[in-house]
Chain A
């Protein structure tokens, strides 16, 4: 069974203080690893898809990386608007089925 574990559960950062979120996974045949951002009262918003170990993707202050066992979401010089819950999900042999982690709640204070 596919499993995803995210750490830490919560992260409080000062504005400009860079940090990383971890997503550890076990999956039968990784077809893709996804990062989503979720604001309170809203649905998850797609950020990145990573397909193979060594792959990296960037968007503004966010950079996602992938190894064979985990993915990292690096937040560089965060701003208060980066405050959200970040969700990691994997897609294994079952097309269309995403297995999500519980998320990391990030709060960035001015």
Chain B
């Protein structure tokens, strides 16, 4: 069974530029998560989707971050404009339902110069 797929794996941009990350969850998983992981720290939840609905986006900096999950499958996380402090690994995870185990993708490492 294919795992969570993310692209790109690496992205280097200049500050103030926009950037987007894509995630394809495990087939059949209704719940999708975006996490941010800083170096030496554990992942922190940014947003959780149940199907197409964002049910927990309390930790998403809405002035510059946005996300969507059209048709309840793939998801895109966008940052516009990027700041130096956004350099981190962005992880996508999915689970059958919110009560189930979360499985993570390989992440996208973002470097903002």
Instruction: Give the interface of A toward B (CB within 8 A).
Output: 4, 31, 34, 36, 41-46, 49, 87, 89, 94-98, 100-103
User: What residues of chain A lie closer than 8 Å to B42, measured between beta carbons?
Assistant: 4, 87, 89, 100-103
Docked-complex contact A46 and B102, CB < 8 angstroms: yes
Docked-complex contact A46 and B99, CB < 8 angstroms: no
Docked-complex contact A44 and B33, CB < 8 angstroms: no
Interface residues on B, range: 20 to 34
Q: Which of A46, A94, A95 contacts B101 (CB 8 A)?
A: A46
Chain A, residue nearest B50 (CB): A96
Q: Which of B41, B50, B99, B106 contacts A43 (CB 8 A)?
A: B106
Docked-complex contact A42 and B45, CB < 8 angstroms: no
Could you tell me the distance in whole angstroms from the C-beta of A38 to the nearest C-beta in chain B?
Answer: 9
Instruction: Give the interface of B toward A (CB within 8 A).
Output: 4, 31, 33, 40-45, 48, 50, 55-56, 91, 93, 95, 98-99, 101-107, 109
Cα A31 to Cα B50 with chains together (Å): 19
Could you tell me the distance in whole angstroms from the C-beta of A72 to the nearest C-beta in chain B?
Answer: 18
Q: Which of A45, A49, A97 contacts B56 (CB 8 A)?
A: A97
User: What residues of chain B lie closer than 8 Å to A45, measured between beta carbons?
Assistant: 104
User: What residues of chain A lie closer than 8 Å to B4, measured between beta carbons?
Assistant: 43
